[in-house]
Amino acid sequence: ETVAKLEELHQMRESLATSLNGRKAPITEETFQQVCAPAGKALKSWSETAGVKAKQVSLKYRNPNHAPTAEEALLLKEFEKDPQRTLIVRTGTPADPSAPGFQVYRRIRITKDCLHCHGERDARPEYIKTKYPKDLAFGFKPGDLRGMFSVSAP
């Protein structure tokens, strides 16, 4: 069920990003609320209903709330090493693999439409430059690892 939900959220994310295809108008915070925020909100809503801990994390984050834990940073490095890998599933907890529970990590990739906000540093929308002065989420190319969905349950 968790893997299927993460696939659904990933598809939602990529589908919403295609709405930026060929866009000429400036990207605004309103655009972000229509295109990027829905997947994050859906992840949060689902996690509360399903009773799991879920978040989006990245080594190159824009929002500091999306910074990875040390364990998540290692898993992101695993995804970086193998661009074909989309999923990591583990039992237990990071501290104790024999404990009850599970962990599921799903790759988030950059598409060409994501480059409106995650491409070259100087080409980022003005609202991003202003709202996120310590932004690290730029310089990507299509297919790059953007981050991952991280889900765990006791």
What are the tens digits of pLDDT across the range 36-45? Answer: 999 999 999 9
Question: Strand order of the sheet with strand 87-91?
Answer: 53-57, 145-153, 102-109, 87-91
- The string of pLDDT tens digits covering residues 101-138 is 999 999 999 999 999 999 999 999 999 999 999 999 99
pTM: 0.91
Give the model's pLDDT for residue 31: 92
Provide Rg for the chain, Cα atoms.
Answer: 16
Backbone angles phi, psi at 149, to 5 degrees: -85, 135
| CA 118/CA 136 separation, integer angstroms | 9
| CA 143/CA 154 separation, integer angstroms | 32
- The string of pLDDT tens digits covering residues 9-42 is 999 999 999 999 988 888 999 999 999 999 999 9
CB 67 within 8 A of CB 57: yes
Region 53-74: mean pLDDT is 96
Tell me whether strands 87-91 and 102-109 are parallel, antiparallel or unpaired. antiparallel
Helix (H, G, I), strand (E, B) or coil at 56: strand
| CA 107/CA 77 separation, integer angstroms | 11
Structure tokens at 105: 């990590």
| CA 146/CA 109 separation, integer angstroms | 5
Give Cβ neighbours of residue 12 (< 8 Å, ≥ 6 apart): 38, 39, 42
